[in-house]
A = this chain, B = another copy of it.
């Protein structure tokens, strides 16, 4: 752990999010909790400006409209130009032709520092058959570590597959994060918020450290989830939603070191 968490709290980076209407409020509150500043905007009129004042860009296709694709491309290109990291969250990419085409366009036009999704989404990007259901993860038995590596190599980025175990690869290195709680997938946009938080961690790291930044982001988030679930029963979705924000604000580097369960 390189303690990017403390850097976020010190530097308070501005994270530009083009996200979906389901995740917008939760992602903004989660970014504030972790110590970053959220800026939500998908207006094409300002997509060549907002990335210039931001320290990272997070593109999430969860509830995109046709016109937003152009805004995403413009923001991504601007972010590439100024050199800030860009995260892609390909929500439900396997579900429709439109989403597949959108992600193909984004991957062609924009260089992503990281791509984060569930198994079905990342497998779709890797062109591996995976039984997905809508925007949910689906189930299957492919080699998730391998899929993450394929995507990382293909798009020269850090790829992360989120699930009960998180799989991380930068094409060479691999990591698995075993922290987490079954309550995380029970609240909507918990994956979207993780993508936003990945943006915050990348924003305070050097490009050669993006793998470690993503590793710390996922570990921090999963442990915050574990701490938030303490004392709750599996049906307390609402309470978990609130506790997760509390824990993202209070989690310390010491807790991360103490609770992390990572295999490399």
Chain A residues within CB distance 8 Å of chain B: 14, 20-26, 28-29, 32-33, 37-46, 49-50, 53-54, 62-67, 92, 95-99, 133-136, 186-189, 233-239, 241-246, 248-250
Contact = CB atoms under 8 A, between A and B. Distances in A.
B24 A26 contact: no
A63 B24 contact: yes
Given A25-B189, A33-B237, 8 more contacts: A14-B136, A37-B135, A39-B92, A40-B63, A44-B66, A50-B96, A53-B133, A238-B246
Name the residue among A21, A33, A236 with the largest chain B CB count within 10 angstroms: A21
Contacts of A67: 65
B43 A66 contact: yes
Contacts of A32: 186-188, 237
Contacts of A66: 43-45
Given A20-B40, A24-B22, A40-B21, A241 B245 contact: yes
A236 B228 CA distance: 11
A189 B45 contact: no
B63 A98 contact: no
Contacts of A23: 25
Contacts of A245: 237-238, 241
Per CB-CB distance, the 10 closest pairs between chain A and chain B, nearest first, are A238-B245, A238-B242, A235-B250, A28-B188, A45-B98, A235-B249, A46-B96, A46-B98, A49-B96, A39-B134
Nearest to A25: B22
Nearest to A249: B235
17 contacts: A14-B133, A14-B134, A21-B24, A21-B25, A29-B238, A37-B133, A37-B134, A42-B63, A43-B98, A46-B97, A50-B134, A53-B134, A54-B134, A234-B249, A236-B246, A238-B241, A241-B242
A59 to B, nearest CB: 15
Given A24-B21, A37-B136, A43-B65, A29 B236 contact: no
B250 A189 contact: no
Nearest to A43: B65
